[in-house]
Amino acid sequence: MLDNKGFDLWADGYDQAVGVSDEDNTYPFAGYKRILGDIFTTIMEKPHPTVLDIGFGTATLTAKLYENGCEIYGQDFSSRMIELAFAKMPNAHLCQRDFTLGLAEPLKRQSYDFIVATYSIHHLSDDQKIGFLRELLEYLKDEGKILIGDVAFETREELNQCKEECMNEWDDDENYCVADELRTVFPNLVFSKRTFCSGILMLTR
């Protein structure tokens, strides 16, 4: 798994690497643009929403939200990713902190219409995901939503099948969401499959 320095080094080529996988419909980024587009559309249904992006990277999604009038907050552990994001969103509220350690203190002073995590939460273990999602729910406004776009599966069987099919490329350091397992803790979780290896998970307060 890359540390923050690794992501600093990868930052400038990140979008290109993602784009190749998406266009070729291969693991891990098959469906990437569609997922970001669907999350964007959901958020823009609400006028002038306040959005928190967890692990925003180069701000591919949040820059579009910013351009369309959203108030943007974000947390990422890569200083280079934050530099690139600030260049696109000079008035955004961005914090550098490893989200495996929880939410940055300045971000706890706000409440949010939407909290998004695109291709980031897989860096957490299953137990860490549960704890972090519980924490994030506390900072949602009424009827607010957590939207997770990532490599994700409905069942553990589907995950294992994908792992077998993508054996040479599979990243064992990443912990992908399994919807029916998360529902044991979050029964209102909704999973919308997008490709053989990806989808959108939604939690509503």
Q: Give me the residue label for tokens 């550098």.
A: 96
* Domain limits for position 70: 4-204
Domain CATH number, residue 36: 3.40.50.150
pTM of the model: 0.90
Q: Euclidean distance between the first and final Cα of the chain, in Å? A: 32
* Whether residue 7 has pLDDT greater than 80: no
What are the structure tokens assigned to 111, written together? 């409440």
Domains of the chain: total: 1
> Does residue 28 have a cis bond before it (omega within 30 degrees)?
yes
With the C-alpha atoms ordered 142, 194, 24, 125, is the resulting torsion angle positive or negative?
A: positive
pLDDT tens for residues 120-136?
999 999 999 999 999 99
DSSP string, 52-117: EEET-TT-HHHHHHHHTT-EEEEEES-HHHHHHHHHH-TT-EEEE--GGG---GGGGG--EEEEEE
Q: Which amino acid is at 56?
A: F
The span from the CA of 138 to the CA of 154, in Å, is 25
pLDDT tens for residues 132-169?
999 999 999 999 999 999 999 999 999 999 999 999 99
- Cβ atoms of 121 and 176 within 8 Å: the answer is no
Which among 82, 200, 113 is positioned nearest to 152, based on CA atoms?
A: 200
* Whether residue 80 has pLDDT greater than 60: yes
Read off the pLDDT band of 3 (50, 70, 90).
very low
